[in-house]
Amino acid sequence: MLNVQQVSGGYSSEAVLKDISFTVEKGELFGILGPNGSGKTTLLKMLSGILPFQEGEIEINGKPLQEYNPKQLARIIAVLSQHSSQSFSYRVKETVSLGRYAHQKGLFQTWSTADEEVVQKVMMQIGVSKFQNKNIQELSGGEKQRVFLAQALAQEPEILLLDEPTNHLDLSYQKELLDFLKQWTSENGLTVISIFHDLNLAGLYCDRLLLLENGRINIDQIPNEVLREERIRDVYNTDIQKHPHPKVAAPQMVLLPKMNNEVVDFNIDESRLHISEEWIELTTPIPLRTMSSGVIGSGTGWHQIFVNRHVHKDYSCSNHRTEMATFLKSKGFEPSETVGMMTAVVLEDVVYKRFLEEEFSIFVVVTAGVGNAIDASKGELHSFEMTPGTINTWVFVTGELTEEAFIQSIMTATEAKVKALNDLKVKDEVTGTIASGTSTDSILIAATQKGTVLEFAGTITPLGKLIGKAVYQCTTEAIQKSSKRKQK
Ligand SMILES: Nc1ncnc2c1ncn2[C@@H]1O[C@H](COP(=O)(O)OP(=O)(O)OP(=O)(O)O)[C@@H](O)[C@H]1O
């Protein structure tokens, strides 16, 4: 549909764009990225035919751009630039109707029924019909943007060129506009070429991205390939990190603000632990990076309060998250800052241990009972039942863990727990075999993310060795304590 071959050019003798080649297929949502001054707007101007280029060729549907006259070009390409400062005093419908200019025929450019139909349809689709009789000056920035989009679409173009379309739009309008453009590309075959400053929106919506750097193409590829950490860090000269979007298979980049990585001068030990009959609590002076399976605060996050709450073994788990959040609030804990777990174990039987290495320390807290012990390899012989957690393991680390180390910490802690059950010969009562855990165990790994970088936490790494030893000892002692209590 659009073919750009070895285009170079700019505003004077010195070329702004150098040797640009790419193609865009019909129905693609194609994003143009690049730092300030890299040539994005210049490229868009050349594609729309308003800025001549000195070398190369731009073809639309196989025909060179220069061979189209302005009216022919306007039937193929519509441009939505940043209109926010435009001050024409037209009514909304008149503004949208200007988009029909290229389609009007004859000497007097008469307004046809077809023109009226297109304008009405587009206004309805974009949601501007309701203020069609208002003066455009009376609209908000977001509403104006929608009117100009309606004008561009009333042109019934094959290609829509956009210069930062989401600029000035609030979150919900950004999403609405891009959802809408995406829908038009897939349903109506519209080709959209748009400049983006927001890499995350580009990554989320575009089929392909072209990254410009100093007037040249750095890469023209799918978003996941273009939005690589090293590349974006180099081209934009800033510190960023890439993460997967939580719901969609799209890359997301987060900025890393300048941080002071001062050594933490607080310990995580028993002095921070408060144990009552109702709950065990540990609070830290700064939020810790967490990975957990808690009822509240599960997944990865940053949390400052850690609560292990005692509930009766017949606790109804039908609405446990809401009930737990209400409980936390009633005790003065902010649920968004808390990792909260539940256990039917008597909290007095908690076991905790702290181990120190030269550069880091760990503090492990375990509550354990084995009333519903299960052999994980034979779980299928059990019916599914939600019961409050029985072995709850907390691992606090003063150090900076990589993502890898977080996951390995969970593995190491789990392996140590399984070994403790194995050595104590805890049995799965249904299968009669050695149990590997209980049906609702929970785990928390929480790290200060300051000080020593701990890259790994496998069983023979410095961190893994401590986690394995501490979890094994704590779990063993906690099971022994609760078993003794049962025997009494
Ligand atoms: N009308 C003009 N006359 C002369 N030089 C220009 C003109 N417009 C832009 N330039 C120069 O061309 C280069 C590329 O500008 P362009 O506007 O294409 O960059 P951009 O990537 O769109 O930047 P931004 O992200 O800041 O909008 C810049 O060095 C700029 O100074």
Ligand 1: distance of its center to the CA of 215 in Å? 10
Q: What's the ipTM?
A: 0.98
Q: Which of 41, 45, 51 to mutate to test the pocket of ligand 1 (most atoms within 8 A of CB)?
A: 41
Instruction: Please indicate, yes or no, if residue 473 is contained in any of the structural domains.
Output: yes
End-to-end CA distance of the chain: 82
Alpha carbon nearest to ligand 1 atom 29, residue = 37
451 touches 264 (CB < 8 A): yes
Tokens of 289: 């990076």
What's the pLDDT tens digit per position in 276-300? 999 999 999 999 999 999 999 999 9
Same domain? For 249 and 274 the reply is: no
Same domain? For 230 and 304 the reply is: no
Q: Locate tokens 């590309």: which residue?
A: 185
The length of the chain, given as a count of residues: 488
- Report the alpha-carbon distance of residue 311 to residue 323 in Å, rounded: 12
Same domain? For 171 and 299 the reply is: no
Same domain? For 337 and 403 the reply is: yes
- Report the alpha-carbon distance of residue 458 to residue 463 in Å, rounded: 8
User: Average of pLDDT values for 118-146?
Assistant: 88
Same domain? For 356 and 244 the reply is: no
Tokens of 208: 């392909």
Ligand 1 atom with least separation from CA of 195: 22
Residue 440 buriedness (CB in 10 A; 0-12 / 13-18 / 19+): buried
Instruction: Please indicate, yes or no, if residue 400 is contained in any of the structural domains.
Output: yes
Which CATH number does the domain housing residue 444 bear? Answer: 3.60.70
Supply the DSSP string of 114-145, one letter for each residue.
HHHHHHHHHHHHHT-GGGTTSBGGGS-HHHHH
Same domain? For 221 and 281 the reply is: no
How far from 360 is each of 245, 273, 293, 454, 466, CA to CA, in Å?
32, 19, 24, 9, 10
What's the pLDDT tens digit per position in 385-431? 656 558 999 999 999 999 999 999 999 999 999 999 999 999 998 99
> Which residue among 226, 255, 284 closes a domain?
255
DSSP 8-state class, residue 197: S
Alpha carbon nearest to ligand 1 atom 25, residue = 36
Alpha carbon nearest to ligand 1 atom 18, residue = 39
Ligand 1: distance of its center to the CA of 82 in Å? 15
Count up the domains in the chain and report the number. 2
Same domain? For 308 and 215 the reply is: no
Alpha carbon nearest to ligand 1 atom 28, residue = 37
Angle 455-456-457 from CA coordinates, rounded to 5°: 140
What's the pLDDT tens digit per position in 46-81? 999 999 999 999 999 999 999 999 888 988 999 987
What's the pLDDT tens digit per position in 297-321? 999 999 999 999 999 877 776 788 9
Instruction: Please indicate, yes or no, if residue 192 is contained in any of the structural domains.
Output: yes
Same domain? For 241 and 366 the reply is: no
> Which residue among 220, 255, 290 closes a domain?
255
> Which residue among 255, 287, 314 closes a domain?
255
How confident is the model at residue 285, as a pLDDT? 93
Which CATH number does the domain housing residue 237 bear? Answer: 3.40.50.300
Which residues constitute the domain of residue 413? 270-487
Pocket of ligand 1 (CB under 6 A): 11, 16, 34, 36-42
Element holding 291 (H helix, E strand): strand 279-292
Same domain? For 243 and 280 the reply is: no
197 touches 164 (CB < 8 A): yes
Instruction: Please indicate, yes or no, if residue 394 is contained in any of the structural domains.
Output: yes
Instruction: Please indicate, yes or no, if residue 262 is contained in any of the structural domains.
Output: no
pTM, rounded to two decimals = 0.82
